Amino acid sequence: MVSRTSTAGVADSNEPLDTEAAFEPRRSRMRLDGELEFEIHDFGGEGPVALLHHASGFCAGVWRRIAHELRRRYRVIGFDARGHGDSSKPEQPYTWQVFGDDLAAIAERLVAELGCARVELGVGHSLGGTAMLLAAGRAPQLFGRLVLLDPVLITAELAARSRVRADGSTAASLTTRMRQARFTSRAEAIALFRSQPLYANWDAAVLEDYAREGLLALGDGQLALKCPPHIEASIYAQGETRHAFEPPTMPVLLLSARGSRFGECHAQFAAAAPSVELRSVDAGHLMPMEQPLSMARVIAAFGADL
């Protein structure tokens, strides 16, 4: 099922909504496998559990505006993936599969601790969308339905075309390694971000959230990216994802970005999976950061009959 969704005309205001300006999650730590710790953001709310997984290089804090809207009907929980935010940063390879394993383990722990039957709504962006599919494939009983925001679905052919060096490096991984990782202040970081095409269309409040949550204060007074460029680059250097999981059995909404480099893979995936509804969205790859309120409404509508 393929449809076209336009977000034009649904303006995302940069002004705080209701009490959003003072809206902060409850934070806790979750230890898995005896040594890995994950930073959990409990955004609160009443109703079934919604679990959010961010894109590579970012953190749970970028979901704040979306979480503020979703908590009207869900208990909303996000977390920093391994290597990101305030979670552990082990040295072992950051494969796609390990993010799926982490997500499944976190979902299982949350279900046990909250005393609910399952995570009713799993929402993943980019890498997070891939992790949702991997986790749902490993433990389908843990998820009621999924919303995937321009997930990274890569065939072997696309992976091969993306490589630019014999060691498996891609243009994205090489560029990421050269990213500026230290700043003298958050104001400097925000100014730099705003000057770059990657952040040009971001909602201003989300950019502020990222500058607050995604930077670590160092002892010398400087700030550093909490997701070091070499970790993010190692994620981009990974290969095929498309055939790493079986078609999901639960209802799935897949939002494919305007001109998505994964668009062909999205279409192939949806065509082979009857439970997947594919929508092309008039937004860029970073759609939850660019149009958080519009995305929140789409996500909430998909889960309205829970």
**Domain-embedded: residue 202:** no
State pLDDT tens for residues 144-187: 999 999 999 987 666 555 543 444 554 444 355 557 889 999 99
Whether 132 maps to a domain, the answer reads yes
pLDDT digits (tens, 9 = 90+) for 58-105: 999 999 999 999 999 999 999 999 999 999 999 877 999 999 999 999
Give the three-class secondary structure for 298. helix
With respect to residue 298, please indicate whether it lies within any of the assigned structural domains: yes
Tell whether 66 is covered by a domain.
yes
Pick left, alpha or beta for residue 108 (phi over 0 → left; psi -120 to 50 → alpha; otherwise beta).
alpha
Closest CA to 263 of 167, 175, 127, 155: 155
Q: What is the pLDDT of residue 287?
A: 98
- The partner residues of 215 in beta bridges, in order of sequence, read 225
State residue 14 phi and psi, 5-degree precision.
Answer: -85, -5
- Give residue 156's pLDDT: 65
- pLDDT for position 7: 46
Q: Which pTM was predicted?
A: 0.90
Task: Give the span between the Cα atoms of 266 and 260, in whole angstroms.
Answer: 9
**What is the C-alpha to C-alpha distance for residues 269 and 278, in angstroms, rounded to an integer?**
9
Q: Which residues contact 70 (CB under 8 A, 6 or more apart)?
A: 43, 45, 50, 76, 296, 299, 300
Point out which residues pair with 42 in neighbouring strands. 26, 77
CATH of the domain at 247: 3.40.50.1820
How many domains would you assign to the chain?
A: 1
Say if 186 falls within a structural domain: no
Q: Is residue 170 part of a domain?
A: no
Report the share of the chain in percent with pLDDT over 70.
84
Domain region containing 73: 2-10+25-165+238-302
Q: Answer yes or no: is 173 within a domain.
A: no
